[in-house]
């Protein structure tokens, strides 16, 4: 379906949320040569020739996305297939019972349900392949720390970490794909801009993030992306859950 554009490319890279933030940086710094595809609501042709247009807050899109991933993964004999799930949202920031319920449910779908559902479909699609297969889910320090105002986000990332640990154990027994969870740290993206603009009533720790920005302590997205690609060249055991800041110093 992707035609002659696949010629002479042996590494298939699929990144969810590739039109902005860390996802975009991952596509821009991806190993070459490679065929890059993003799953996104917006196009990003300058960093990814392929687009699977989808709103991951809509569960009806997951089967279609999974079908396209399966089709392109089996269209030719790849030497390496990498799916990185970088799509995520902090909206709405605020206390449980006070924010819009529809937005809260969309947050849970994007951050918790979609990564697990797509991960399941990806592993099923590539289970019979002999090439190197990698599934990476982006996590957060919020998975291990209570941030009032981020209940859905933190719970979703904790679910991601537990899923990766469990599925990694499964893949060691049967499957052989490498499944990782990586927390990238505090990165200079639009998500951080949203945090700094939030009222302290909705996010009591907002001043800490404003201070990190003022001190120039936010990580550069391209540097984070390059560190993550380097990480994938290491011999990490499937099921590993780690914080990239431990590697960046």
Full pLDDT tens readout for the chain, 249 residues: 333 344 446 999 999 999 999 999 999 999 988 999 999 987 777 878 899 999 999 999 999 999 999 999 999 999 999 999 999 999 999 999 999 999 999 999 999 999 999 999 999 999 999 999 999 999 999 999 999 999 999 999 999 999 999 999 999 999 999 999 999 999 999 999 999 999 999 999 999 999 999 999 999 999 999 999 999 999 999 999 999 988 766
- pTM score, whole prediction: 0.93
C-alpha distances in Å from residue 151, one per residue of 83, 106, 235: 26, 13, 34
Rounded CA separation 150/95 (Å) = 8
Distance between CA 178 and CA 132 in Å, rounded?
8
Which CATH homologous superfamily contains domain 3-183+221-244?
NAD(P)-binding Rossmann-like Domain (3.40.50.720)
Q: Give the residue extent of every domain in the chain.
A: 3-183+221-244
Q: Give CA angle at 26 (89, 7), nearest 5°.
A: 125
- pLDDT at residue 41 in the model: 86
- Alpha helices in the chain, H assignment, sequence order: 21-28, 60-73, 101-108, 114-126, 151-173, 190-196, 206-214, 221-232, 245-248
- What is the reported pLDDT for 248? 67
Helix (H, G, I), strand (E, B) or coil at 30: coil
Identify the pLDDT of residue 122: 98
Give the Cα separation of 45 and 14 in Å (integer). 13
**Residue 187, H or E segment:** none
């Amino acid at each position: 379906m992707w035609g002659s554009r696949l010629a002479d490319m042996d590494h298939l890279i699929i990144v969810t949320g590739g039109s902005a933030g860390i996802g975009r940086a991952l596509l821009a710094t991806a190993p070459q040569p490679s065929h890059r595809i993003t799953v996104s609501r917006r196009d990003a042709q300058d960093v990814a020739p392929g687009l699977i247009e989808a709103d991951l807050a809509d569960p009806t899109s997951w089967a279609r996305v999974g079908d396209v991933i399966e089709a392109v993964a089996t269209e030719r004999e790849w030497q390496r297939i990498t799916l990185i799930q970088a799509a995520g949202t902090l909206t709405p920031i605020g206390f449980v019972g006070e924010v819009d319920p529809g937005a809260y449910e969309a947050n849970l779908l994007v951050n918790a349900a979609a990564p697990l559902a797509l991960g399941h479909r990806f592993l099923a699609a590539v289970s019979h392949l002999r090439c190197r297969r990698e599934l990476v889910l982006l996590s957060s320090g919020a998975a291990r720390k209570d941030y009032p105002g981020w209940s859905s986000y933190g719970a979703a990332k904790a679910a991601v970490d537990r899923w990766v640990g469990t599925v990694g154990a499964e893949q060691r027994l049967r499957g052989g794909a490498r499944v990782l969870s990586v927390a990238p740290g505090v990165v200079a993206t639009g998500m951080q801009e949203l945090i700094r603009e939030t009222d302290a009533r909705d996010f009591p720790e907002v001043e800490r993030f404003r201070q990190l920005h003022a001190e120039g302590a936010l990580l550069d997205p391209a540097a984070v992306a390059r560190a993550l690609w380097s990480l994938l060249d290491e011999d990490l055991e499937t099921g590993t859950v780690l914080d990239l800041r431990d590697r960046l110093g």
